[in-house]
Amino acid sequence: MPSLPETAPETQALFQCLNDALPQTQCTRCGYPDCASYALAMAQGQAAINQCPPGGQAGIERLAQLTGRPVVPLNPEHGAEGPRHIAIIDEAWCIGCTLCIKACPTDAILGANKRMHTVIEPWCTGCELCIPVCPVDCIQLENVTGANTGWAAWSSEQALTARQRYQSRQQRLVREEHDHQQQLQTKAEHKLADLAAHTKGADTPPELDRKRAIIEAALAKAKARQTGV
Same domain, 113 and 98: yes
157 located within any domain:
no
Confidence of residue 9 (pLDDT cuts 50, 70, 90): confident
Q: Does residue 201 carry a pLDDT above 60? A: no
* Lowest pLDDT segment from 6-15, 19-28, 50-59, 134-143: 6-15
* Lowest pLDDT segment from 73-87, 95-109, 204-218: 204-218
Which has the higher per-residue pLDDT, 168 or 209? Answer: 168
Task: Name residue 58's amino acid.
Answer: A
Which has the higher per-residue pLDDT, 207 or 187? Answer: 187
**What is the average pLDDT across 26-53?**
97
Q: Does residue 176 carry a pLDDT above 80? A: yes
Same domain, 42 and 89: no
Q: What is the pLDDT, as a whole number, of residue 227?
A: 62
Percent of the chain with pLDDT over 90: 69
CATH no. for residue 55? 1.10.15.40
Which has the higher per-residue pLDDT, 116 or 18? Answer: 18
- DSSP assignment of 22-37 equals S------TTSSSSHHH
Per the CB < 8 A criterion, the answer to whether 100 and 137 are in contact is: no
4 located within any domain:
no
154 located within any domain:
no
Q: Does residue 7 carry a pLDDT above 80? A: no
Main-chain phi, psi angles of 140, to 5 degrees: -120, 160
150 located within any domain:
no
222 located within any domain:
yes
Write down the mean pLDDT value for the chain.
88
- Which of 144, 162, 189 terminates a domain? The answer is 144
What is the residue range of 217's domain? 174-227
Q: How far apart are CA 20 and CA 14, in angstroms?
A: 10
202 located within any domain:
yes
Domain count, the chain: 3
**What is the average pLDDT across 184-192?**
70
160 located within any domain:
no
- Which of 25, 43, 78 terminates a domain? The answer is 78
Q: How far apart are CA 99 and CA 129, in angstroms?
A: 10
Same domain, 18 and 70: yes
Q: How far apart are CA 159 and CA 108, in angstroms?
A: 14
**What does each C-alpha distance from 29 to 1, 26, 80 come to in angstroms?**
17, 8, 10
**What is the average pLDDT across 164-182?**
88
94-132 confidence digits (pLDDT tens): 999 999 999 999 999 999 888 889 999 999 999 999 999
Percent of the chain with pLDDT over 70: 81
Q: Where are the beta strands (DSSP E) in the chain?
A: 85-89, 109-110, 118-119, 139-143
Q: Does residue 43 carry a pLDDT above 90? A: yes
Closest CA to 178 of 130, 223, 226: 226
Main-chain phi, psi angles of 142, to 5 degrees: -120, 130
216 located within any domain:
yes
